[in-house]
Amino acid sequence: MYITVAGNGKEVKKGLTLPELIELEQVEMPDYVTISVNDVFIDADKRADTVLKDGDTVEFLYFMGGGC
């Protein structure tokens, strides 16, 4: 199946879960990343149950504080 990850299209196995994608993409600090699938934020406790579908768009977002 074909999905888009961070703006890049890629071919992945059918039935890929978010934890598998996190490992495949070697996401840094996976416990601190926010994930959206098709512009919907996925709760951390629902990641393991989220199975990606053909045509999905996945984004990994890191929120950082800061400022003066």
* Residue 68 included in any domain: no
Query: How would you class 61 by CB atoms within 10 Å of its CB: exposed for 0-12, middle for 13-18, buried for 19 or more?
Result: exposed
| CB of 24 closer than 8 Å to CB of 60 | no
| CB of 35 closer than 8 Å to CB of 18 | yes
CATH number assigned to the domain comprising residue 7: 3.10.20.30
pLDDT (0 to 100) of residue 45 = 93
What's the domain count of the chain? 1
pLDDT (0 to 100) of residue 58 = 98
* Residue 66 included in any domain: no
Domain that holds residue 27: 2-61
Q: What is the pLDDT along the chain (68 residues), one digit of tens a residue?
A: 999 999 999 999 999 999 999 999 999 888 889 999 999 999 999 999 999 999 999 999 987 766 66
**Residue in the block written with tokens 């149950």:** 49
Helix, strand, or coil (residue 10): strand
pLDDT (0 to 100) of residue 6 = 94
pLDDT (0 to 100) of residue 63 = 77
